[in-house]
């Protein structure tokens, strides 16, 4: 059995594109990029590179993340999630930290223990933060207002976070890590998300 090249039938024809049709195709492609790709890049997902060690060992310097910028338009951030945001004292920068306290809660930190008090737990509960690997110690009590969050880096001893500059307004939150793409051995969906356990105080 052999295969022969397919030739056009008498009713088919092949022509080279004209200069006008080339420009039309180029314009059509450019419009597609503007209408589809650019809004996705600006409002849906955005790439970020981790800089620094404030979230070590969960995230390390130089890791490449794709950030979901849509989910929080339809749902509230929850405790244990890692988020990307603009810090209130310098909104030109982007930080990555973990949510520890939610709106209207009181966060009390004593040495290495984080206690949360809220309407459901007026006596407070202690967070089980197994993701924190580096020794640290702080003392602080902070009550959050409406639409305010308390965030901290997993590497507490090397993190500028809510212990330093206060509560994070919800409007400053950009999104959450959707995918860790690089290094290749660390590829992961929704990296850094923790189902935080609690215990009574």
Strand partners, 111: 138
- Report pLDDT for 20: 61
7 assigned to some structural domain: no
Per-position DSSP letters for the chain, written without gaps between them: ---------TT----PPPHHHHHHHHHHHHHHIIIIIHHHHHHTEEEEE--SSTTTTTS-TT-EEEEE-SGGGTS---TT-EEEE--TT-TTS-EEEEEEE-TT-EEEEEETEEEEE-SS-TT-EEEE-TT--S---EEEEEE--TTEEEEE-SSGGG--SHHHH-PEEGGGEEEEEEEEEESGGG-EESTT----EEEE-
Residue 143 lies in a domain: yes
Query: pLDDT for 114-141, tens place per residue?
Result: 999 999 999 999 998 888 988 898 999 9
- At residue 31 the predicted structure's pLDDT band, cuts being 50, 70 and 90, is low
The answer to the question of residue 38 being in a domain is no
**Containing structural domain, residue 180:** 46-200
Give the pLDDT band of residue 163 (cuts 50, 70, 90): very high
179 domain residue, yes or no: yes
Q: Specify if 16 maps to a domain.
A: no
Among all residues, which ones are annotated catalytic?
Answer: 54, 97
Residue 9 resides in a domain:
no
pTM of the model: 0.74
Q: What is the Cα gyration radius of the chain?
A: 25
The mean pLDDT of 31-56, rounded to a whole number, is: 66
Domain count, the chain: 1
In a domain, 24, yes or no: no
We report the CATH number of the domain holding residue 121 as: 2.10.109.10
pLDDT per residue over 48-89, tens digit each?
888 889 999 999 898 988 888 888 989 999 999 999 999 998
Question: Which is more confidently placed, 183 or 156?
Answer: 156
């Amino acid at each position: 059995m052999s295969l022969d090249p397919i030739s056009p039938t008498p009713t088919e024809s092949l022509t080279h594109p004209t200069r006008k049709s080339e420009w039309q195709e180029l314009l059509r492609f450019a419009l597609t990029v503007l209408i589809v790709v650019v809004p996705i890049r600006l409002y849906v997902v955005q790439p970020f590179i981790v800089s620094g060690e404030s979230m070590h060992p969960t995230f390390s310097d130089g890791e490449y993340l794709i950030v979901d910028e849509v989910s929080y338009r339809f749902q509230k951030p929850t405790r244990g999630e890692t988020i990307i945001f603009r810090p209130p004292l310098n909104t030109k920068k982007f930080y990555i930290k973990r949510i520890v306290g939610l709106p209207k809660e009181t966060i009390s930190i004593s040495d290495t223990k984080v206690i949360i008090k809220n309407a459901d737990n007026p006596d407070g509960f202690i967070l089980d933060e197994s993701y924190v690997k580096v020794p640290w110690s702080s003392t602080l009590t902070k009550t959050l207002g409406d639409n305010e969050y308390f965030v901290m880096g997993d590497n507490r001893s090397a993190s500028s976070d809510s212990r330093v500059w206060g509560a994070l307004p919800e409007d400053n939150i950009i999104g959450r890590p959707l995918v860790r793409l690089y290094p290749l051995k660390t590829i992961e969906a929704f990296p850094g998300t923790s189902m935080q356990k609690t215990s009574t105080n």
